[in-house]
Every structure is written in C-alpha cells, then in structure tokens.
C-alpha cells in the first residue's frame, strides 16, 4: 500500500474570491500574491516547525526571493466523494465503506465535512457538518446506482470546499473509472488546474489495474493515492492522510519578475533548501482571469 508522503498545494490568493456567501478565508493576501499550500513529510511523518526560509519556490523557472509563511488557524474542510457505481461494488465495497469511516473518524470537532456520493447522479448526503454521527448516519443510508460520474462528482466536491476557511481537501473513494459524467477528462483537468483544493484518492482493495484518471488528478492537485487493504481499511494510513494535510504550511509570495506566459499557466516547483523531507505541490496555477 502506498503511504502518503506529502501533500503540498499551491494556490492563488485573490481577495476578490471572498463573496457575500462565503466565509472570509483565514489567510488574506494581497491581490497580487500567490498562495502555496504545502505539506512536508519525512519517512511518512509530518515535518513541523519549518520556516519560510526553509522553502524554495520557482515560478516558471524564476526563483522567488521572498516567501512569507501564513499562520493557519481553525480546522480544515474535507469533502468525501464516495463512488456507489458498479466498479466499487465489484472491487471491494466493504473496505471502501470502512475507509470512508476511517476518514470520518480522524476528523476533529473544528473540521467541517461533507459527504458526496455518485453513481449516474451525484448527491450531497451530508454537510456542512462537524458531527461524525451525522456523517456516519448518511454513510449508512447510501444505496448503489448505475454509472459512476467521477468527473462531475469531483467538480461538485471541489466546489463545496472552495472558499471555505482554512485548508481544503477532497478525499475520493472510487475505482477511478468514469461512467456518465457531463465533464470529460480534458475539460475536467483544465478546471482542476484552476482549483485551490487538494484531491486525495482511495481505491478499492481488489482492483487489479486502472486508476489512471485519478492518478492525473492527484498529481495535478498535490494529493496522494492509497489502496484499501483487503479486509482492513488501513485506518492508520487513512488517518495519516488527513493528519499530514492538517499539519501543512501556507506560503505566499509576490510573483515579481516572473514573466507572464502567453497561456497564463505558471509552472511551479517547490522544494526544501537545507532540510530533509518530501514536498508535494500543485503543478502550477493560472493567472487570474485566464
């Protein structure tokens, strides 16, 4: 089973994103600043206590001279996207259910969570909630369906946590096969490139092959893929996934001296200068309005 090494996210901060309907974000940056969500681990344990000067960020190949570390207060926002399609039924529904329960178990009272399910339709079964009981009740009442609208469910789940205070992630439990979404792969990935949310994925234990689409998604967003273990939900590993995300960092910088690319896409490289640890990061961001 793959361990979650690190989750890093790089996100653009816009004051303009705060709307009347949304809670103001914890970190408030200037409109010309880029926000970078970072998680660092060493041998599968979160590395804490790092400072801004421990990080190196290259924006389209240009090293950023001055980084700031923002303090994150409050909890995290987690949307659980649970596949109820035929693939999950075939490849290990029981383990997926237990893995979903493990995600619920590790949430703290200050965290906010949602449960989204999908087959040929997507639905919000619970949320926003801070109660594990409510999530578990919702989980107990799900029923299988045809199809597996994975792209649409990802879009819905990311939409829900976007703009929430603190850091936000989506944990998708699925066999990774798309069946029946409106969105196709190309457009979905294009949209995800403009998202600030980390996507992590848990696949069924008995699934021998295939998971390519979700591999692309987690790579793009700085997430990680776990595989459910036969007869064992791998509770600790699932718990680590959320914990490592929770203990991450938020860096910000002004992209001074970074040339504006024609297509608006900024490739990002995030690394540590003199410290040991693995860093995962979003692959980049789009210039606002592009």
Partner 1 sequence: MRVTFLAVAFSAAVVSLAASPQKPAPPAGPSRAFLQLFDQYRRGSPAPAIGSFARWTEDRVKAEAMLPPGVDDSASLQALALFHTDAGIANDRFGMFAAKSPNYLMLGGWGLESVFEVHSLTAYRTVETLIARGKATNDLDLLRFAQQWYIVALSFCTRGGEPVKVENLFPQKPTLANLPAEETTAATGRPHCVLGLKDKAQHYFDDDPEVQLLLGSLVEPRVMRRSVLENTKVEVTYGQEARWYFKKALEGDPSLIEAAVRRARVLHIGLNYPEAQPMLEHALAAARASDNTFIAHLAAFSLGQLHEDHDEMETAIRYYREAVSLIRAHTASIALGQALIRTGQTTEGWLVGARMFGREGSGAAPIPDPFVLYRYAQYWQLDERLSVLRDMVRGR
Please give the residue ranges that form the binding site for partner 1 (CB under 8 A): 14, 16-17, 19, 21-22, 85-86, 114, 120-129, 146-148, 152, 155-156, 158-160, 162-163, 177-180, 182-184, 186-188, 190-191, 194-195, 286, 288-290
Nearest to partner 1 of 125, 219 (CB atom):
125
Least Cβ distance, residue 72 to partner 1 (angstroms)? 20
Cβ neighbors of 267 (< 8 A, separation 6 or more) are: 59, 60, 61, 283, 284
Nearest to partner 1 of 184, 267 (CB atom):
184
Nearest to partner 1 of 116, 242 (CB atom):
116
Least Cβ distance, residue 194 to partner 1 (angstroms)? 5
Nearest to partner 1 of 284, 288 (CB atom):
288
d(CA 113, CA 45): 24
d(CA 139, CA 100): 8
- Asked if 245 and 218 touch (Cβ cutoff 8 Å), the reply is no
Least Cβ distance, residue 186 to partner 1 (angstroms)? 7
Nearest to partner 1 of 30, 290 (CB atom):
290
Segments in the chain forming alpha helices (H): 86-106, 132-140, 150-161, 185-192, 212-221, 235-246
E-assigned strand segments in 8-161: 9-12, 34-42, 45-46, 55-59, 62-63, 68-70, 77-83, 112-118, 122-129
Q: Are strands 278-280 and 34-42 parallel, antiparallel or unpaired?
A: antiparallel
Least Cβ distance, residue 32 to partner 1 (angstroms)? 16
Least Cβ distance, residue 180 to partner 1 (angstroms)? 5
């Amino acid at each position: 089973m793959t361990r979650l090494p690190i989750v890093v996210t790089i996100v653009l901060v816009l004051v303009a994103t705060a709307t009347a309907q949304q809670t103001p974000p914890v970190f408030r940056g200037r409109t010309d600043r880029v926000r970078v969500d970072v998680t660092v681990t060493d041998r599968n344990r979160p590395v804490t206590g790092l400072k801004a000067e421990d990080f190196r960020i290259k924006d389209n190949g240009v090293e950023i001279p001055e980084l700031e570390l923002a303090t994150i207060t409050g909890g995290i926002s987690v949307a659980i996207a649970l596949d109820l399609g035929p693939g999950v039924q075939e490849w290990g529904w029981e383990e997926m259910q237990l893995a979903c329960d493990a995600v619920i178990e590790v949430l703290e009272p200050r965290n906010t969570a949602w449960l989204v399910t999908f087959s040929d339709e997507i639905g919000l079964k619970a949320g926003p909630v801070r109660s594990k009981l409510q999530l578990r009740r919702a989980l107990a009442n799900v029923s299988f369906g045809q199809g597996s609208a994975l792209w649409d469910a990802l879009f819905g789940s990311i939409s829900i946590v976007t703009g929430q205070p603190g850091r936000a992630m989506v944990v998708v439990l699925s066999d990774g096969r798309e069946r029946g979404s409106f969105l196709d792969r190309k457009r979905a990935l294009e949209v995800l490139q403009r998202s600030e949310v980390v996507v992590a994925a848990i696949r069924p234990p008995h699934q021998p092959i295939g998971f390519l689409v979700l591999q692309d998604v987690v790579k793009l967003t700085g997430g990680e893929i776990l595989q459910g273990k036969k007869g064992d939900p791998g509770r600790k590993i699932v718990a680590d996934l959320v914990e490592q995300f929770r203990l991450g960092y938020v860096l910000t910088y002004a992209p001074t001296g970074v040339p504006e690319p024609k297509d608006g896409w900024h490739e990002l490289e995030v690394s540590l200068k003199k410290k040991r640890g693995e860093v995962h990061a979003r692959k980049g961001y789009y210039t606002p309005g592009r």
